[in-house]
A = this chain, B = another copy of it.
Amino acid sequence: MGEFDLIQRYFKSQSHPSADAVPVGIGDDCAVINPTPGMQWLVSSDMLVEGRHFLSTVAPERLGHKALAVNLSDLAACGATPRAFTLALSLPRVDETFLSGFARGLFALAQAHDIALVGGDTTAGPLNICITVMGEVPRGQALLRSGARVGDDVYVSGQTLGDARLALEVFRGQASLASAAEFEQVRRAMECPQPRAQLGLALRGVAHSAIDVSDGLLGDLGHILKASGVGARLDVDALPRSAVLAGQDLALQREYGLAGGDDYELVFTAPSDAAGRAAVAAAAAASGTPVQRIGAIEAEPGLRLHDAAGLALSAAAFSSFDHFKTP
């Protein structure tokens, strides 16, 4: 099967954007998209490489899901409505089992988020997946890293922070679980992250700043602090954790929650007054997404960690994931 057959069979045939929104989709030199008047256009790219962003053991369907999910998570962190994406794929060979599963996972998530595949590229080469997502926000309403203010509360979404890292460590033989069911639960967190798109939309006009947790909570919150010129204190024991993670040693729970990586939850800051807290609670309820208050923004730069009893912990012990350092 050649390049053009492949595009046609697995991707173009399943991509049906509306002609109003996307007058020209897959199959020309460029896709043509009609931006919504009055909206700003948001763009993000993520590249996934085997052994770095996924293991060779992942099911193709989950890989298709995850490749798009990590990109949708970037749109969610900005409060953007998904519009369109491109997919560039380098494959060692044309493997129909892989491609059909990959496409199934990809398009199921694309349809759930109403985002259209509009173009891309396929080539022979080491397995590599590069997706570029595009979305929209009303002018000036994008959630940014730079908006945190002194006195803001710090929140994180979800209840499985650290589970993806726990699954990775089980694969590596560095952690063990009580049952296959527990393993499947954390493996799902690692392989099937759910982008917090609805929460991101609901936080427009509510949160002062936001980022998605891809490299670990501390590192990603650190980007907010740096971009906003502020610091923060965090109650480490307030971090949400699954029952499975809660079954591990406390030191591991903290490490995976604070610096696990691959969580794709949102960390955000919002006003700490009654109206601010009520607005966050309403956004969480409207989007059906649990959120947890875990700390506060302070004027003093840097991150200060403490436990539930108020005792200080060293942040230096928890290092965030960097794709150029050996994990």
Which A residues are closer than 8 A to B by beta carbons? 1-4, 6, 23-24, 27-35, 37, 39-47, 49-53, 74-75, 77-78, 80, 84, 86-90, 94, 118-126, 128, 130, 132, 134-135, 137, 139, 142, 144-146, 210-212, 227, 322-325
Contacts and interface: CB of A to CB of B under 8 A. Distances in A.
25 contacts: A1-B324, A2-B325, A3-B323, A23-B40, A28-B146, A29-B210, A29-B212, A30-B43, A30-B78, A32-B41, A34-B40, A43-B84, A44-B119, A45-B88, A45-B130, A45-B132, A46-B121, A47-B90, A47-B130, A52-B123, A90-B128, A94-B324, A122-B324, A126-B128, A130-B130
B33 A41 contact: yes
Q: How many protomers of this protein does the assembly include? A: 2
B324 A53 contact: no
A75 B30 contact: yes
A125 B123 contact: no
Contacts of A39: 35
Contacts of A145: 27-29
A3 B324 contact: yes
Contacts of A126: 49, 125-126, 128
